[in-house]
Amino acid sequence: MTGEKNKNAGRVRSATGPTAMYPGWKPSPEIAARWKKLTAPKELTEEHIQEEFVNHATKTLARSAFNMDDFAAYQASAYSVRDQLIDQWNSTQMYHTTVSPKRVYYLSLEFLIGRSMDNALLNLGIKDRYANAIDKLGFNMEDLVEQETDAALGNGGLGRLAACFMDSLATLDYPAWGYGIRYNYGIFEQSIVDGYQTEHPDYWLTFGNPWEIQRLDITYPVAFGGTVIRSKGASGGFVYTWEPTERVVAVAHDFPIPGFGTKSTINIRLWSSKPSNEFDFASFNAGEYEKSVKEQTDAENITSCLYPNDNHYIGKKLRLKQQYFFVCATLQDIIRRFKKTGEPWSEFPKHVAIQLNDTHPTIGIVELQRILIDEEGLDWDGAWKIVTKVYSYTNHTVLPEALEKWTVPLLKELLPRHMMIIFDINLFFLQSVERRYPGDREKLRRMSIIEEGVPQSVRMAYLAVVCCHTVNGVAELHSDLVQKQLFSEFVEYFGAGRFTNVTNGVTPRRWLHQANPRLSALITKTLKSQHWLKDLSELAKLKQFASDPEFQRKWMEIKASNKKRLAEHIAAHCNVYVNPDAIFDVQCKRIHEYKRQFMNILQVIHRYEELQKMTDEVLAKQVPRVVIFAGKSAPGYYIAKMVIKLINNAANVINYNLRTSKYLQLVFIPNYNVSLAEIIIPASDISQHISTAGTEASGTSNMKFVLNGGLIVGTVDGANIEIGEETGPENIFLFGVLTPEVEDIRHKQTYGTGIKVDPKLDSVVESIRDGTYGQPAIFEPLLHIDTMRKVDACFQNKAEWAKKSILAAASMGKFSSDRSINDYAKNIWHISPLPPPE
């Protein structure tokens, strides 16, 4: 071989420094040409797929033809699909590096990805080829796909949104990166024991993870604690030196995300914490070896586990450490990439847009200000100008219990320099508020980033609003509440231009094409093209077939087969044989008071009591119903756990009544996750999205259900409203009070002026109270019984129902996450697509 030697060969590797670049080393033209030849992708014939499969089975896994099972075959396939991803990923990244466009960085503490193999095969357009190739080696692709464990690095809607957004960013060819944490334990696995939720750790990495690439070459130091030294700088001003007491290392793990029908493959970079190699000599010399080992394991603990709270803030120190660890490593990575351009800091906002998925990564704003001042030597104003052009923030909730407030003592202890900077940001902000509203101390108190109290705390949402150029809510109603309720004085102060709406969406690739392959095929055949998967508004063309009996028959036949598949899953996991001809009535989502699973179960119990009172003749005319619940409760959320127990106890009564069980069955399917959602959603006739008006920011499962031909029973809340605008009121069952009425009703209920609970409920509440269903429970019920009667009546007219189902699904163009991402790109990030050349 010719060419110069790699000067870095054999050099000592620092465990803390970034080792991603080897400055100065460039391959000679000969070496570069040789690499190019050796890495040129081969044509993906069935034979080549088989070669790669066998190669991974024998070399990567050390298996033989006589020692293979479905799991090994899954792994071998996965590694060979991953090779395809890496090829695309490399060429996408190389192209982005040469063009150096403005990129968006999507920062999220959660990515609820689910399984990757089926998705990768479909997005790369190589599923049939793989299935055929592997079939000839004696394996069935559908079985192999089932071997994969979910990457469940999220709680619910927020983490799933991040995953849908990555699929859209790749599909639409945007130069984008996702950043997050590689938790060793994802969201816990739920089982039901004696009717109660039981949690089991989700150690998802036991058998390795073929969908990530560990990047031992990409590591950054992260520090915590200590003190800040103030001294006089060369130019007379003060300089601040942070002397931390704890150091760890962040190691990158890359999850390639292929776009659908494009060569773009982007990246989610997840950080894992490792001990820094700087040996603790003090402890060692004092003979405290165990203490220094403990400090090392503490470092790895930072990214051990995902906090299992959804829409609820908890002030745990380790959680704050996770947040800072993640943004600190991420910013070093972003800055390293920017510095390759050689441009001055003033150009940073032309290359970088950073989106904060909720306030969880908000400390990253302060970290950038700190880096620019303390490390890069910019003055406050110069740094502030850059920081405020880069960041934007998505608000996900107006529920007060979900808003993050870190106490000042905790922030001081972990991040002393950041706490100083937050005080300064607040001081300068309040000084300008004072100039605008002189002497209004109450206003200063209300708008302060620091909440007074013992101890003081930092309102992270206010910090985000003050520092970000744009703040968005996730559905029209929610964005309205964000502006009128949560941040009204900030809207007045900064102007309405800082605030906007981007209604959420879901990716049709996973939530229709992958989860419901037969429906996807029917749509493609009917529209004579697959292009609707890249432009979901084309679904509207299905409307002309909504009354066509033949199309209705095919549409409903697919629904029926999806219901059979779900019935089999229920038989296997709940030991109940549900009637697949019944109406499937689903509520699956996190268990939360505001989502009102309790109201739903009351309605079911009421129906059960009515059925019992009926004569045989009346009973025979009833529309059979299967009610399906699924969802996890936070482990410490007592009331939510009691709702799970009540559902299971009610199921045990209802399913064993031989007279009525033909007409009403009830199941709680354990361990709701992305893979289970992919089975449940295509099988629903109706789904319940019945949050108290004004509490569900958007909801995204509502979109998934309608996309699969299921109708919504819902309150006038979140994205239900916009879904109803698209489908028309006849293809959605909305009920209940509007947001402005909720506070009035609460007031009247609490302080007792009128409004009596519907008397139809009296016996239900009584029967729960007297223990018919085990646990006594006293709650505040509001029923949606009338709506469910209407649903029953509609369901009896099969042709009308099919028409509603088709029209509703055909109206879902707006709710593709592609539309959401194009909104963000155009209105907030100001980035353009950059399709890789052919």
| 250 contributes a contact to ligand PLP by CB under 6 A | no
Q: What stretch of H or E contains 192?
A: strand 189-193
Least distance (Å) between residue 822 CB and ligand PLP: 21
The verdict on whether omega for the bond into residue 275 sits within 30 degrees of 0, i.e. cis, is no
Comparing CB distances to ligand PLP, the nearer of 68 and 630 is 630
DSSP 112: E
> Cα(794)–Cα(803) distance, rounded to whole angstroms?
11
Q: Interface residues for ligand PLP in 573-602 (CB under 6 A)?
A: 589
Comparing CB distances to ligand PLP, the nearer of 487 and 705 is 705
Comparing CB distances to ligand PLP, the nearer of 157 and 724 is 157
Identify the CA nearest to 187 among candidates 173, 201, 176.
201
Task: Tell me the Ramachandran region of residue 62: left when phi exceeds 0, alpha when psi lies from -120 to 50, beta otherwise.
Answer: left
> Cα(310)–Cα(581) distance, rounded to whole angstroms?
34
| 160 contributes a contact to ligand PLP by CB under 6 A | yes
> Cα(627)–Cα(647) distance, rounded to whole angstroms?
10
> Cα(429)–Cα(442) distance, rounded to whole angstroms?
15
Instruction: Identify the residue among 88, 145, 156, 764 touching ligand PLP (CB under 6 A).
Output: 156
Least distance (Å) between residue 645 CB and ligand PLP: 21
Q: How many of the chain's residues bind ligand PLP (CB under 6 A)?
A: 12
Least distance (Å) between residue 672 CB and ligand PLP: 6
**232 in catalytic set:** no
Burial 489-499 (b: 16+ CB within 10 A, else e): ebbebbeeebb
For the residues of 11-47, what is the DSSP string, one character each?
PPPPSSS--S--TT----HHHHHHHHHHHPPPP--HH
Identify the CA nearest to 643 among candidates 309, 199, 196, 310.
196
Active-site residue, from 63, 127, 396, 563:
396
Residue 824 · residue 502 · CB < 8 Å? yes
Active-site residue, from 704, 784, 804, 819:
704
Least distance (Å) between residue 794 CB and ligand PLP: 22
Residue 25 · residue 6 · CB < 8 Å? yes
| Interacting span for ligand PLP (CB under 6 A) from 127-135, 248-256, 450-458, 695-703 | 695-703
- Other C-beta atoms lying within 10 Å of the C-beta of residue 284: 12
| 364 contributes a contact to ligand PLP by CB under 6 A | no
Residue 303 · residue 183 · CB < 8 Å? yes
**Tokens for 668?**
């709680």
Max intra-chain CA distance, the chain: 94
Comparing CB distances to ligand PLP, the nearer of 398 and 674 is 674
> Cα(500)–Cα(464) distance, rounded to whole angstroms?
14
Active-site residue, from 595, 596, 607, 803:
595
**321 in catalytic set:** no
Least distance (Å) between residue 116 CB and ligand PLP: 15
Kindly give the pairing relationship between strand 265-275 and strand 176-181.
parallel
The helix/strand/coil state of 588 is strand
Comparing CB distances to ligand PLP, the nearer of 513 and 589 is 589
> Cα(405)–Cα(319) distance, rounded to whole angstroms?
12
Comparing CB distances to ligand PLP, the nearer of 459 and 704 is 704
Q: Interface residues for ligand PLP in 65-84 (CB under 6 A)?
A: none
> Cα(253)–Cα(273) distance, rounded to whole angstroms?
11
Residue 403 · residue 460 · CB < 8 Å? yes
Least distance (Å) between residue 102 CB and ligand PLP: 30
Active-site residue, from 56, 127, 321, 589:
589
Comparing CB distances to ligand PLP, the nearer of 159 and 781 is 159
Q: Interface residues for ligand PLP in 728-747 (CB under 6 A)?
A: none
The helix/strand/coil state of 734 is strand
- Other C-beta atoms lying within 10 Å of the C-beta of residue 44: 16
| Interacting span for ligand PLP (CB under 6 A) from 84-92, 635-643, 698-706, 729-737 | 698-706
Return the bridge partners of 180, or none: 270
**Tokens for 104?**
């968006």
Query: Cα-atom radius of gyration of the chain, to the nearest Å?
Result: 28
**595 in catalytic set:** yes
Comparing CB distances to ligand PLP, the nearer of 311 and 661 is 311
Instruction: Identify the residue among 661, 701, 708, 739 touching ligand PLP (CB under 6 A).
Output: 701
Residue 338 · residue 102 · CB < 8 Å? no
Active-site residue, from 182, 510, 554, 590:
590
Least distance (Å) between residue 712 CB and ligand PLP: 11
> Cα(408)–Cα(30) distance, rounded to whole angstroms?
58
Comparing CB distances to ligand PLP, the nearer of 503 and 701 is 701
Residue 549 · residue 645 · CB < 8 Å? no
Using CA of residue 319, residue 313, residue 161, residue 200, what is the dihedral sign? positive
> Cα(604)–Cα(583) distance, rounded to whole angstroms?
13
Least distance (Å) between residue 205 CB and ligand PLP: 20
Q: Interface residues for ligand PLP in 752-781 (CB under 6 A)?
A: none
**Tokens for 127?**
């599923």
Least distance (Å) between residue 680 CB and ligand PLP: 9
Least distance (Å) between residue 762 CB and ligand PLP: 30
Instruction: Identify the residue among 275, 505, 580, 699 touching ligand PLP (CB under 6 A).
Output: 699
Instruction: Identify the residue among 700, 715, 811, 820 touching ligand PLP (CB under 6 A).
Output: 700
Identify the CA nearest to 595 among candidates 350, 239, 310.
310
**339 in catalytic set:** no
Least distance (Å) between residue 673 CB and ligand PLP: 5
Return the bridge partners of 267, or none: 177, 256
Residue 102 · residue 177 · CB < 8 Å? no
Comparing CB distances to ligand PLP, the nearer of 600 and 701 is 701
| Interacting span for ligand PLP (CB under 6 A) from 473-481, 700-708, 734-742, 745-753 | 700-708
**590 in catalytic set:** yes
| 677 contributes a contact to ligand PLP by CB under 6 A | yes
| Interacting span for ligand PLP (CB under 6 A) from 27-35, 635-643, 672-680, 757-765 | 672-680
Comparing CB distances to ligand PLP, the nearer of 273 and 597 is 597
| 311 contributes a contact to ligand PLP by CB under 6 A | no
| 673 contributes a contact to ligand PLP by CB under 6 A | yes
| 674 contributes a contact to ligand PLP by CB under 6 A | yes
Comparing CB distances to ligand PLP, the nearer of 486 and 697 is 697
Identify the CA nearest to 793 among candidates 621, 634, 643.
621
Active-site residue, from 92, 171, 660, 700:
700
| 670 contributes a contact to ligand PLP by CB under 6 A | no
> Cα(264)–Cα(101) distance, rounded to whole angstroms?
15
**Tokens for 414?**
């972990």
| 352 contributes a contact to ligand PLP by CB under 6 A | no
| Interacting span for ligand PLP (CB under 6 A) from 7-15, 63-71, 472-480, 699-707 | 699-707
Using CA of residue 676, residue 678, residue 679, residue 685, what is the dihedral sign? positive
| Interacting span for ligand PLP (CB under 6 A) from 155-163, 745-753, 775-783, 792-800 | 155-163
Least distance (Å) between residue 724 CB and ligand PLP: 16
Least distance (Å) between residue 597 CB and ligand PLP: 11
Comparing CB distances to ligand PLP, the nearer of 397 and 426 is 397
Q: Which residues of the chain form contacts with ligand PLP (CB under 6 A)?
A: 156-157, 160, 589, 672-674, 677, 699-701, 704
Q: Which residues are catalytic?
A: 396, 589-590, 595, 700, 704
